[in-house]
């Protein structure tokens, strides 16, 4: 089923996907969130390492944390 996005929506979950998520246990859903968080952190860190090869680990981690909490602006 096609959904029309509005300005207040970021994404519409497909009905089939929503049903699959409903069937998951709280632990399974939490594991999905933690996995997505780790993936996002690794992607941001990889991009920053590529863009700023001169940054040390502390600078990288600080920027990863900043971007994950406040975005790129």
pLDDT digits over 44-73, tens only? Answer: 999 999 999 999 999 999 999 999 998 876
What predicted TM-score, i.e. pTM, was given to this entire model?
Answer: 0.72
Residue-range domain boundaries for the chain: 25-70
Distance separating alpha carbons of residues 33 and 70, to the nearest angstrom? 18
Distances (CA, A) of 3 to 10, 16, 23, 56, 70: 12, 13, 23, 45, 29
């Amino acid at each position: 089923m096609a959904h029309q996005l509005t300005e207040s929506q970021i994404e519409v979950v497909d009905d089939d996907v929503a049903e699959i998520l409903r069937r998951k246990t709280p632990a399974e859903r939490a594991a999905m969130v933690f996995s997505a968080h780790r993936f996002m952190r690794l992607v941001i860190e990889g991009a920053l390492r590529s863009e700023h090869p001169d940054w040390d680990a502390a600078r990288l981690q600080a920027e990863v944390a900043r971007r994950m909490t406040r975005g790129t602006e």
